[in-house]
Amino acid sequence: IEDKTVVITGGAGFIGSHIADALVSENDVRVLDDCSTGYQENVPEGAELVSGDVRDEDVVSAAIEDADLVFHEAAEVSVQRSVEQPKRSNEVNVGGTLNVLEAARDADARVVLASSCAIYGVPDSVPLSETERLGPRSPYGVDKAAIDSYAEVYHEQYGLETVALRYFNAYGPRQTAGEYSGVISIFLDQARRGEPITVEGEGDQTRDFIHVSDVVRANLAAATTDAVGESYNVGTGEETSVLTLAETVKRAADSDSDIVHVEGREGDIPRSVADLSKSRESLGYEPTVSLEEGLRTLVDE
């Protein structure tokens, strides 16, 4: 990808800033971010930072007006927080995406957007293929199911080139550790401080943990594929329980932390792992970083 005008919403955040890194040298990269959870320091040199909220239609359309390609990563990413504030989650995640899709329609830009495996809810079986019935269990999952469908409908109705990437559980550098952050950043932070590693529930719930560099690879493939108007799983195909994760993080960080059990989450997804057949076939996507390896490099940072 070169000589394009690329807009990355959420480009000061975790995944968006890594996409910006990958594109900034060969393209005009503009980041749209309100820095509510992202950081200006994450935006690579050479990229333009436009401060703004995706809920603001005017800001979004001005940022995307001359774009060739949009990566829409801005979102309220916490499932927990969506349970506490479902309306806010919808406004950011669904309302924000509609602003992006409308602006992209006007600009005739391709949109690659961040969907989620949370849309599958409690699956009948794993691994999860894209044809699995959707059954979101949280307001966040409903938001992502909606935008995943909007992406397809914008392609069918308006001919917009859209690709929805159903991210499994992404981790890596710049994922901040906070109450509402991803489990790996929380566990690593606890392990480093020697504080108890807090496994919620039994820890037998599973996830497919994918390193952000593989997420970026999937995005770059989605930006050039002919197979648009489609949704693709972006994971590793490896299923890891949260308890195993806790032990693996503890080992990788060479930590003395205890592993403790705290109350589980209401409506938590019990099992999740990606079937990658479709992504391999149509995107040529192949994960490259194992969990052990990804954790090791994260610890060394």
Residue range at the interface with ligand UD1 (CB under 6 A); choices 23-31, 46-54, 60-68, 192-200: 192-200
Our CB check for ligand UD1 shows the closer of 78 and 99 to be 78
116-145 positions binding ligand UD1, by CB under 6 A: 116-118
Distance (Å, whole) CA 187 – CA 181 = 10
291-300 and 183-193 are packed helices; what angle lies between their axes, rounded to 10 degrees? 50
248 contacts ligand UD1 (rule: CB under 6 A) = no
- Record the tokens describing residue 229, joined without a space: 């108007």
Neighbours of 112 (CB within 10 A): 27
DSSP state of 233: E
198 contacts ligand UD1 (rule: CB under 6 A) = yes
The answer for residues whose C-beta is within 8 angstroms of residue 169's C-beta and 6 or more apart is: 117, 182, 183, 184, 207, 208, 209, 210, 235, 272
261 contacts ligand UD1 (rule: CB under 6 A) = no
Our CB check for ligand UD1 shows the closer of 183 and 212 to be 183
The distance of closest approach from Cβ of residue 77 to ligand UD1 in the complex, given in angstroms and rounded to an integer, is: 4
Our CB check for ligand UD1 shows the closer of 159 and 270 to be 270
Residue 180 designated active-site = no
The answer for residues whose C-beta is within 8 angstroms of residue 286's C-beta and 6 or more apart is: 280
Residues that bind ligand UD1 (CB under 6 A): 77-79, 116-118, 167-169, 180-183, 186, 198-200, 205, 207, 242, 265, 268, 272
What residues act catalytically? 140
